[in-house]
Structure 1
Amino acid sequence: MVVKKGPEITAKLHNVKPVMFGKLSIDSKITKKNRSTVLVHKKVNNYQVAPNSSFDYLVSDSSNQLGAGKYTLDMHLQSGKRKWHLVKDFVITSKQGAPLTKQTGWLGISMMLWIVVIILILIIASLVAVIMWQRKKLKS
């Protein structure tokens, strides 16, 4: 069962130098493009980044719900005296921005449909049992 409230926004960060970065702090914010109101804010500390490596940094989490639109990701990174400021615009399409709240069950059919089918089967089985019991009672 998958329950998601919106798209997950990740930033792929690269350490292209043969240097290890320790105690890396990342302060990231997502705003609507050309707006100042922060929609998503995430701050982490004490990250370690290996030399000549890359990793996906998850900016949003499941409680943040971003709809379709144009956004800006603004990130400040610092490790010791080294500082970086990254800004990237991105677009979420209407298909990507729609919350994925549909709960699917067996064979990709929604859970609600399975519940209705099971209830109908139980009702029909109960009716058949009552009819058979009545017939048996009448024959006796």
Structure 2
Amino acid sequence: MRLKTLLFIALAALGLGVAQVQPNQTQAASGAAYTVSPVIPDNQRTSVSSYFDLVVKPGATQPITVAVTNATAGVRHIKVSLTHAYTQDNGEIGYKPNGRTDSSAQYRVDQLGQKSQVVTLAGHQTKRVTVNLKIPEQGFNGVLLGGLYLVDKEETAGSTGDGVQFKNRYATLVGIQLQTSTGAINNVKPDLKLKAVGAGIQSNQPGVLATVQNPMPTYWGKMLFTAKVYKRNSNTVVMKRTASGYTTAPNSHFDFGITQKDGLTPGDYTLDLLVTGPHGRWHWKRNFSILTEQAQKINKKLALKTPFVMPWWGWILIGIGIVLLLGLLWWLILLLLRRKKDAQAENTPQ
């Protein structure tokens, strides 16, 4: 048996202005044993009804309610988790529970209410599930982005076309976007920072990982990443990558990987990373090194060979050896010339 987890998260299209990325929600896919419908409150900012887009008051308690319906005759147990939005390494916004956090976040949606609860539904029963969010007394800047992540704890049997049996576990997300005033997200200027550069593994390939951070309480998309890795103090490009359509969640970070199929080579390098889009332009050049121990560890984990690179002291030893060899050769030449001269002197008639 193999477990197949399906996540159904819908995101609206990215627009040209800041904050045009919207958290969306879809019903669980065909075959799911339950459905979910948001109960939209009066402080919904827009007319959308598939997710929560709320203007909240500082210090208030904001109820988030969804109606969950059991579509089967059997008992179902649905786990409901309060989550925050984060940026995945593939440039998409993720909402799974216990996702990556960032130190720049003053508040997160999952910190404002009950982390999780399990709802038991009898056959064909509908229940309203509420999570109360305590809004900070002093309010917050920009936007908080997250969601309610619902997982059916019961597995649904299925099979492939060749008769292989497997289990499905369905999940659904209902997005949550919170602001303390209408249009607050548009008042925050987008920004990006390059936090770190180093060797690593991504998508089961070795490469260079550039940790990019969005330290602002806003989100946007349509970013184009153009990266080149050079040998230090050289125009030789050893790795490069271009990727488009990247999106970043508020107050988050992710690793942009420039990977290759071959093993990593130790040495000194420079990363040139350019990010462009309708929301800004960011350009960094950063020197970094891949140590021999790092390359060997990563390559060994991926069953790749580490190319041999002569260490700096090796070149010194080679230089010393060449000097000694030339010195010995010169001494031999002088010795041969002296012996030849002595032999000529001996053979000269007195």
Q: 1:84 aligns with which of 282, 285, 289?
A: 282
Three-state SS of the structure 1 residue aligned to 2:250 is coil
Aligned partners of 1:40 and 1:64 also within 8 Å? no
Q: Give the partner amino acid of 1:73.
A: L
Three-state SS of the structure 2 residue aligned to 1:76 is strand
Report the identity percentage: 30
The Cα RMSD (Å) is 2.0
2:217 pairs with 1:14:
no
Q: Give the partner amino acid of 1:58.
A: G
Matches within 5 A, 1:53-92: 53-61=252-260, 63-92=261-290
Partner of 1:30: 229
User: How far, CA to CA, are the matches of 1:59 and 1:76 in structure 2?
Assistant: 13
Q: 1:41 aligns with which of 235, 240, 243?
A: 240
Higher-helix-fraction structure: 1
Distance change (3 Å), C-alpha of 1:68 and 1:6: farther
Distance change (3 Å), C-alpha of 1:30 and 1:65: farther
User: How far, CA to CA, are the matches of 1:96 and 1:35 in structure 2?
Assistant: 22
Q: Give the partner amino acid of 2:289.
A: V
TM-score under structure 2 length normalisation:
0.26
Q: Higher Cα Rg: structure 1 or 2?
A: 2
User: How far, CA to CA, are the matches of 2:264 and 2:234 in structure 1?
Assistant: 15
Aligned partners of 1:21 and 1:49 also within 8 Å? yes
Distance change (3 Å), C-alpha of 1:93 and 1:7: farther
Distance change (3 Å), C-alpha of 1:96 and 1:6: farther
Aligned partners of 1:29 and 1:40 also within 8 Å? yes
Q: Give the partner amino acid of 2:238.
A: L
Partner of 1:110: none
Q: Give the partner amino acid of 2:215.
A: V
Three-state SS of the structure 2 residue aligned to 1:8 is strand
